[in-house]
Structure 1
Amino acid sequence: MIETIRAAFVIARRDFTAIIFSKSFFFFLLGPLFPLGIGVAAGGLGSQVSQDIDNPVVGVSLSAAEAEKLTTARVRLSQSLGSQSMPNLIILKDFSGEETDIISKLDSEKSLTAILSGTLSSPVLTGSERDVKRWRGKIALLAETALSQPATVDVQTNFVKQTQSSSKRIQLLTAQAGQAILILLTMILAGMVLSNLVEEKTNKIIEILAAAIPMDAIFLGKLFAMLGMALVGITVWSTMGFSMAYLIGGNWSALPSPAVGWPLFCLLMVVYFSMAYLLLGSLFLGIGAMATTVREVQTLSMPVTMGQLLVFFLAYSSITKLGEPLEWFAVLFPFSSPFAMIARAAQMDNVWQHGLALAWQGLFTLIIIRFSVMLFRRNVMKSGQAARRRSLFSRITGK
């Protein structure tokens, strides 16, 4: 085992040095400029998730008669302005409407965006500053319509620090961004493993290495060398991005905070990218072991690329479904697990689950690498039981 690790380190150092100090690496660093346009164009993919995230619900703490008038007014306005333009209303029964009870209700009910209290002629809207400012005008319009009078209704505001509903939306936005960054980086960088292996197969270099070093060490070394190259590229891109953001300026405190906190979330982003890269890279190594020409590589890698998109769609659609069967499947399926778990890191503050997920992903990576080595030996090195049977058959038949 120690000899395998030592040999893998030699291969990794060789490949890493050759890539980093090559002229093409500079142009590789310019690669993300081109997918940025694709990323912007793909923004519409999150429309359904955005509807699940931003589904505002306003609790109504008015008298029964005034609450009925308000709901009737909402129905009338929704028919003319559209239902999405108006907040959903929930009548809070057996509710005092006192300020302390309102704040307690907002903290305990994750579905509530704000609470409307007082009277229709003098309403009070309580919630986070963002939500109150967003819906204050619509609530005033609803009250004026309910009163059926031309007089303008002045909605009083009462800001609370942060409601459960606004906190949930912020964390979901962070989960969306984390998944999008992971899939973009993985798709850009993972293909390098495949092209590197096929190139060395074509030049017969891989066979020379296999004669001196165990194949497991060669595959591990190549995989981690490409991962190191990817991390160098990410470091350069991140430095450039943060430098530009710092020069432009902005309110950094306004960034939506994940449930585990920014330091741990950033660390998990790096770790889960590494696991997603190793999983996909090990799969590409298996494809490279089966392919003999560049055309075969393109043919075999296309289903994997399409499958990668399907895996991302699976993880992306499960963001708003924590604890449901679909989300659990995304967590347990190895190739979608890194994306699903980074979404959990944004929404759940328990850390132990990430250790289990990383162990599971690492185990599956080793299984794929082992299987890829077997394919390589059978298809390139012509070793193994199948090769021995062919050799025996040749000796018997004389062919």
Structure 2
Amino acid sequence: MKHFLSKIMVIARRDFRAILFSRSFLFFILGPLFPVIVAWMAGGIGASVQGAAGEARLGIAMSETESALISDARQSLHHALPRLPGLEMLQGDRNGTGEIRAVMADGPGERNVAAVLAGTLDEPSLSGPSNRIAAWQGDVSLLVDEARRLRDLRAGARQREWPAITLQPMAQPSQVDEAGGRIRTAQAGQTLLFLLTMLLAGMVLSNLVEEKANKIIEVLAAAVPMDAVFFGKLLAMLGVSFVGIAVWGSAAALVLVAGGSGLSMLATPAVGWPVFILLCIAYFACAYLLLGSLFLSIGGLAATVREVQTLSMPVTMAQLLVFFLASYALGHQGQPVEMAAAIFPFSSPFAMLARAAMQPEIWPHFVAIAWQALWVFLIVRAGAALFRKTVMKSGPAKGRRGLGALLSQSVRSFRRA
């Protein structure tokens, strides 16, 4: 056993160094960062353009007295409703439809008037595009009501008192909020696990096909048992994947810190953040090894890149169905569908990661990880045996090859006769 493990580590170190220090891996690591940089630049340019356009403002076309009341009303409400639109006082009493339309036709200029409030406080009218006046209807109603209150107050009416609301913050969120937050955490963990697995597992397939084309795999198989070759390649690619995740995770952390956000946007999982992160790493390793072992078996059957794409497509589609199954099971904790998703090896990492976010028990995860490791061992052994039979052609010829040899011998005998 010790000798077998040493052979696995030899293959793993060889593949790890060969891939990690290759130029293709460097471009592979930098590839996902380019869309993030482009999106960040596009967001900055969009914000700059939006700032250049200016904030949409509400034009006030009332008498001087009532316009001043509207302005005072906005200042009075601004501390409670900072989203109220900015005001632009229009000179004169512009109640004519043509004049109002001319004001808004100026477009993004210094005033940038998107809608105009005209008429009087008792009979106000809001003019502008239908979507804009529908969105501002509630804000304008508050402004007019507050302006009427200020007018009545200055006329000697009794001041209206706003009701005092006593705030009683709770140390713990409600059960509904906590459950909803944990569901979002579980969904985020499942999605991230699925994307990373699908993005990185393909490297196993391409690496094996390349070595088959260069006849390197035959040299390795002559020196090392095929099981050790497969296990070593899987461990090497897992190590390379962790390097890629470390680079992408560092970049994501810098973006989150620069944006002033972090894990606080997600609810604390039931097992706690430290244990949840460790389980994320463990279940990623299991999901990667499961899918990678399946891809290795496919790579052992394929002779060309076209065959690889043909054979791997059903596996990719099946993996999508597995992810959908685990996502559906998230909303049915403790039910048969959730148990089935946790037992099925390819959906087990996703379902158990969701369970870690929803339920505080730790012991089921040790059982699940051992179960998934067993399936990795079985798939690799089956893939290595299939590789020996189909590619290395070790063992007696059976099935079609035996029948073909018999037919060929019969044809030769017939010709000699």
TM over 0.5: yes
- Rounded Cα–Cα distance in structure 1 between residues aligned with 2:166 and 2:184: 29
Alpha carbons 2:302, 2:308 under 8 Å: kept: yes
Partner of 1:143: none
Per-residue displacement from partner, 1:289-340 (whole Å, max 9, x unpaired)?
1111111111000000101111111101111110111111110110000000
Partner of 2:85: none
In the TM superposition, what is the alpha-carbon distance from 1:33 to its structure 2 partner? 3.9
Partner of 2:257: 246
- Rounded Cα–Cα distance in structure 1 between residues aligned with 2:8 and 2:294: 18
Amino acid at match of 1:380: V
In the TM superposition, 1:150-299 aligns within 5 A as 158-161=168-171, 162-250=173-261, 253=264, 255-299=266-310
Partner of 1:140: none
Instruction: Please give the secondary structure, in 1, of the residue aligned with 2:330.
Output: coil
Instruction: Please give the secondary structure, in 2, of the residue aligned with 1:249.
Output: coil
- Rounded Cα–Cα distance in structure 2 between residues aligned with 1:362 and 1:210: 24
In the TM superposition, what is the alpha-carbon distance from 1:6 to its structure 2 partner? 0.8
Call closer, same or farther: CA 1:397–1:2 in 2, change over 3 Å.
Answer: farther
In the TM superposition, 1:64-213 aligns within 5 A as 158-161=168-171, 162-213=173-224
- Rounded Cα–Cα distance in structure 2 between residues aligned with 1:269 and 1:256: 16
Identical columns (%): 56
Partner of 2:348: 337
Call closer, same or farther: CA 1:251–1:367 in 2, change over 3 Å.
Answer: closer
Per-residue displacement from partner, 1:249-282 (whole Å, max 9, x unpaired)?
2365454111111111001101100000000000
- Rounded Cα–Cα distance in structure 1 between residues aligned with 2:262 and 2:405: 74
1:353 partnered with 2:364: yes
TM-score by length of 1: 0.67
Alpha carbons 1:216, 1:370 under 8 Å: kept: yes
RMSD over aligned Cα atoms: 2.7
Partner of 2:387: 376
TM-score by length of 2: 0.64
Amino acid at match of 2:280: M
Alpha carbons 2:271, 2:361 under 8 Å: kept: yes
Call closer, same or farther: CA 1:293–1:252 in 2, change over 3 Å.
Answer: closer
Instruction: Please give the secondary structure, in 2, of the residue aligned with 1:193.
Output: helix
- Rounded Cα–Cα distance in structure 1 between residues aligned with 2:297 and 2:263: 43
Per-residue displacement from partner, 1:27-73 (whole Å, max 9, x unpaired)?
11123347879xxxxxxxxxxxxxxxxxxxxxxxxxxxxxxxxxxxx
- Rounded Cα–Cα distance in structure 2 between residues aligned with 1:209 and 1:264: 39
Call closer, same or farther: CA 1:232–1:310 in 2, change over 3 Å.
Answer: same
Instruction: Please give the secondary structure, in 1, of the residue aligned with 2:32.
Output: helix
Call closer, same or farther: CA 1:169–1:388 in 2, change over 3 Å.
Answer: closer
Instruction: Please give the secondary structure, in 2, of the residue aligned with 1:312.
Output: helix
- Rounded Cα–Cα distance in structure 2 between residues aligned with 1:202 and 1:251: 46
Call closer, same or farther: CA 1:213–1:391 in 2, change over 3 Å.
Answer: farther
Partner of 2:11: 11
1:32 partnered with 2:32: yes
- Unaligned regions of 5+ residues in structure 1, if any? 38-151
- Rounded Cα–Cα distance in structure 2 between residues aligned with 1:36 and 1:307: 28
In the TM superposition, what is the alpha-carbon distance from 1:391 to its structure 2 partner? 7.9
Call closer, same or farther: CA 1:343–1:28 in 2, change over 3 Å.
Answer: same
Alpha carbons 2:204, 2:234 under 8 Å: kept: yes
Alpha carbons 2:256, 2:262 under 8 Å: kept: no
Call closer, same or farther: CA 1:4–1:274 in 2, change over 3 Å.
Answer: same
In the TM superposition, what is the alpha-carbon distance from 1:26 to its structure 2 partner? 1.4
Partner of 1:315: 326
